[in-house]
Chain A
Amino acid sequence: MSADGVIDVLQAGRCDLVMDGGRYGFTHLGVPVGGAADAQALRRANRLVGNADTAAGLEIVLNGPVLSFPQGGWIALTGARFGLSRSSGDGVEWDKALLMARNEQLIVGAARSGCRCWLAVRGGLVVPDVMASRSTFLPASFGGMQGRPLRAGDRLTVGAQSGAPMLCAQPPVRDESLPFRVIPGPQAADFTDTGLAAFFSVPYRVDAASDRRGVRLSGAPVAAMARGSLPSQAVLPGAIQIPPDGQPIILGWDGPVSGGYPVIAGLISADLPRLAQLKPGDTVRFATVTLDVARGLAREAMDGY
C-alpha cells in the first residue's frame, strides 16, 4: 500500500492501541480474536472518513494522546466522549468527519463519560499484518505498533485514500442504566442459591485492575458449591468467570481462549460494546435473557450495518 501521510505522536495517552476488526482464525492456537473493543464504533469512524470497514484506527482509553498531522487529513472520532481540542481552535464534533489542517494538532484529553473512543484516519493506519490483522495484542506483544501502545515520538503511517467520506453517522442509543444481559453459563448450576442471588441482584463495582483481558468486579462474593477442579474449557469475550475468591471477572477481547474457572454467565453480544465503556468505579448489574432474545437484540444492534 502506498503511504501518503503520517501522524506524529507528540504525547501518548494512557494506552493508545492500533486496532482493526480483529484477528480471526487462530483461537485454536490460543490467540483470541481481539480487535477493537467496540468493532461497530470503529467501523462507524472508518465509514465517516471513507475507509474500508477493515481499516485500522486507534483505540483510546481513559486518557488520550496529542497527535500532529503534518499533511493534515480527514479524521473521525466515535465512542465515549473525551475532552477534545484542536490547535487551530476549530470545534471538534463526535461522529462526524473532521478535516485537520496541515500541522494541526488534535488534543484528546480525559474521558468524560465511558472509557474508550476510536479514531479513524482517512486512508487507515498502516502497520504490518501479523497473523492476518493489524490489531495490537498486548498479552503476547505483537500486532499494531510493534505490539505495544503508542509512545511519544512514534510516527504512524497513513495509507492511500479510499472511498467517499460520509458526513455524519448516528451512534446507537443505549440505556446505560439497564442491567447487563446474560445467558446463564455452563456452570451456572454449580453455584449456591445464595451465590446466584448475589450475582443476579447485588450491584458489582468495576476494579481498577481491569483491562482488555478482563473487567474485574468486586462485591458480594459468588459462592460455588464444593466441587473438584474444573477441566479447562474454551471461553469467549463476555464470559463471566468466578475464581475461588468469588469476585466475578468478565473476560475481555484479549482474554484467554480457555480457562479453568467456572463460568456463571455470558454477556450477550449486543451488550459487549457496553463492556468497552465500563471504567473503574462504575457499577454493574446482571439479568438473564433467552438465546432467542439475545439473537434478536444482536440483529437489532446490527441494523444499518
Chain B
Amino acid sequence: MPNFGKMPSSKSNPLIRQVPLAQTQRWRWVTERGLRVETGAFTLARYRAVLAAGLNEVESAIPADGSLLIVLYPRAAPSDALYALLSEDASLSPIVPGRLHLLPVEYGGAVGQDLARLADVAGLSVEAAIALHCSVEYRVMFIGFQPGFAYLHGTPAVLQLPRLARPRTHVAVGSLAIGGAYTGIYPAIGPGGWNVIGRVRANLFDPQRDTPALLMPDDRVRFVRE
C-alpha cells in the first residue's frame, strides 16, 4: 500500500496538517470519491486498464490532461487490487488506434478570426499555416469543458498559441480552435478562450444519437480544407 500520510511539499500549514492527508505526489483525492492519478502520456492506457479490470469499487474513470480520475462508488474505498493495477507499468500497454475521422474545415475569414494572427505569430503565411494544420494526424486525448469537446493532441509546435487573455463570451458552434498545445472544436455555442481558426460542419455532439460524441478517446482526426 502506498503511504498516504504525507503532504507533497515541505509546506507546513498547521490548519491542514492536523489531518493525515490523503495526498502524495502521484495519487491525490478530489472529494473522497475521486482518486486522481498522474498518468503523463499514458492516460488512455491507464483509463482502459481500469475499465477492463471491472473492479467492484470503481464507478467510472475520467481521463484528462496527463491525469486520470477514478471515481469510486459512494462509501467505497479503493481496493488493494486497484492500487496494484495502478502500480503496473502503463507504458507497456498496447496502443489502441481509434476511428479515423476526416473533417472538412472552412479556414479563416469570419469563421476563423484568429487565424491571421496565429499565422503571423508562427511566422507563416495564412496559406502555409492552413497547410501545416492539415498536414498532421491528431489524436483525441480526452473530452471535457463541454459535452463532446475533444482535446486533440498533435498540433504542430509553431501553431501552438496560448489561450486568449480574455475569453470570448460567444464562440460559434463548430469553431475549430487552438489552445496551447491542443486543437479543439466547440460542439455548442458558449464562452471560450481558444484561438479560433476555422469552422467544422460535422455535428460534434448530439445527445439523441446512439453515440452522442462524434470524437471518442483514442480516435484520430485529420482536417481537410473545404
Residues of A participating in the B interface, judged by any CB pair closer than 8 Å: 24-31, 130-131, 139-140, 142-143, 183-186, 188-189, 193, 196-197, 200-201, 229, 231-239, 256-259, 263, 266-269, 288-291, 294-295, 298-299, 302
Contact = CB atoms under 8 A, between A and B. Distances in A.
Nearest to A239: B30
Given A234-B62, A236-B71, A183 B207 contact: no
Contacts of A302: 74-75
Nearest to B78: A291
25 contacts: A24-B59, A25-B60, A27-B71, A28-B47, A29-B205, A29-B216, A31-B207, A142-B207, A186-B30, A189-B7, A189-B9, A193-B11, A200-B16, A231-B67, A233-B64, A234-B36, A234-B63, A235-B30, A236-B34, A256-B146, A258-B145, A266-B34, A289-B19, A290-B22, A295-B32
Contacts of B152: none
A197 B13 contact: yes
B217 interface: yes
A28 B61 contact: yes
A236 B74 CA distance: 13
Q: Which 5 A-B pairs have the closest CB atoms?
A: A258-B144, A266-B31, A234-B69, A231-B65, A234-B62
Interface string B1-42: 000100111011101101111110000111111101000000
Given A131-B207, A140-B205, 8 more contacts: A29-B205, A130-B208, A185-B30, A196-B13, A200-B16, A231-B64, A234-B62, A291-B29
B143 interface: yes
B77 to A, nearest CB: 6
Contact of A233 (B4, B67, B77): B67
B62 A295 contact: no
B104 interface: no
B109 interface: no
A237 B62 CA distance: 13
Interface of B: 4, 7-9, 11-13, 15-16, 18-23, 28-34, 36, 47, 59-69, 71, 74-77, 142-149, 151, 180, 188, 205, 207-208, 212-213, 216-217
Given A234-B68, A269-B32, A197 B15 contact: yes
A225 to B, nearest CB: 9
Contacts of B7: 188-189
Given A28-B61, A233-B69, A239 B143 contact: no
Nearest to A194: B13
Nearest to B12: A193
B105 to A, nearest CB: 21
Nearest to B15: A200
Nearest to A189: B9
B13 A236 contact: no
B75 to A, nearest CB: 5
B11 A298 contact: no
A196 B63 contact: no
Nearest to B77: A295
Contacts of B34: 234-236, 239, 266
